[in-house]
Structure 1
């Protein structure tokens, strides 16, 4: 079973064609990065595979569920989502303890409105430990640093044991230390039987755990596949519309302008 499969999808808003005949597939065991300039179609593609948008045409299958014959709100519960933009909902978390924020992820809700069983608190405490948040245990979300808040949000996304975890520019606005602490947490995520889709403008965030990369340009695929085959000078220069050079250190790519 493919984790994600999109075939010849188009996505239009009015007269604006955002995605154009896009094909892409995520197989079991793969962890994907997604790169492209603003306006390349990244956000629209994420909205589709996270079940919040339908393509204008084409076929989409996520976790074995084909769009058009699937109840999407139920499928959505199997998909974790972390984004810096989630912090616009921080008012819902503001006075909650980190444990309650994490548990709310089981229900994909902002706040807890359903019955929580003992096993839920046990899993929340396990995630607190896994993500090195024990020093802020039982603290209110509002007092956390930005880096700690992002780690709470990724723990929240894993609370429901999703098979697919979408990370949309999760390090945006973080300082270097907080970014590296967050990126270390990706190793924990991959050990929780989850498949990542990591979207970023900064290719050095594609840590060793990332196995594959999708490059987008103007709504089309420039290249997709194993990261060392895709992250080349030629393909990245085409994607970014400027001559660039990539250097690898500790299995992480670093970009410079030629």
Structure 2
């Protein structure tokens, strides 16, 4: 699904990614874990083809960058981020926000079919936000908006879906409701490959079976969650003593 081979990206004298290699196989869902400034956003921009690596090779969905039309390939990659929330029209109805995902537009300008509306209803119902139908987007809570953005991204039937710190700004209860929706999405037989970006281990739900730990632009460790999210590894990763405790299939970290 995704393969990076020794990818480096430099800006002026700064090396923001340093020989990053990463492989995501079909059927895997990954968490991308790193502190602020670790290179997560740079890595995502390279995966989506928005910036070009200084060196190294990138392949997504079996197609090598440099040999594929990136505009077409991006249609198979969904990206949900908080930055998109502010770009959407606050007076749009919730279902229009979801339907706009078909053409990845800000606002709905194309005619929609009954089939499109049925799909939108189905996506909103599966994510627990169908009750928002006909609500103005601007009146929705932060958690409700994130669910609408998820439904919007799924309207394009992406093969890869990037969730870029989707729980930022959510209270405890809104976070848990959103994470449950993400778990349910990951369990669908037709689910896209999920890449969940965070700097909080407790947000990594059990369905995200693999984790890539990124530190200062380098891969610190990658593999099954059980192998990389333990006390010894995370202590070394965070460069501070921590204890990792598992509850309900999720890893909670506390400072020592």
> What range is the shorter-chain TM-score in?
over 0.9
Residue 150 of structure 2 is aligned with which of 140, 145, 154?
154
The superposition leaves residues 160-182 of structure 1 with CA deviations (integer Å, 9 ceiling, x where unpaired) of: 11111101111000001110111
SS in 1 for 2:124: helix
1: CA distance between counterparts of 2:159 and 2:34? 25
The superposition leaves residues 148-199 of structure 1 with CA deviations (integer Å, 9 ceiling, x where unpaired) of: 1110011111111111110111100000111011101112322142111111
Residue 96 of structure 1 is aligned with which of 92, 99, 110?
92
The superposition leaves residues 63-87 of structure 1 with CA deviations (integer Å, 9 ceiling, x where unpaired) of: 1221111111111111111112222
SS in 1 for 2:86: helix
Equivalence for 1:87: 85
Normalised TM-score (structure 1):
0.95
Equivalence for 1:177: 173
Residue 163 of structure 2 is aligned with which of 167, 174, 178?
167
Q: CA deviation at 1:209?
A: 0.9
Q: Alignment RMSD, CA only? A: 1.2
1: CA distance between counterparts of 2:145 and 2:115? 23
Task: State the number of aligned residues.
Answer: 254
Residue 222 of structure 2 is aligned with which of 216, 224, 229?
224
Superposed, which structure 2 residues align to 1:94-133 within 5 Å? 94-133=90-129
Structure 1, gaps ≥5 residues long: none
Normalised TM-score (structure 2):
0.96
- Single out whichever of 34-43 and 147-156 deviates more from structure 2: 34-43
Superposed, which structure 2 residues align to 1:165-244 within 5 Å? 165-190=161-186, 191=188, 192-244=190-242
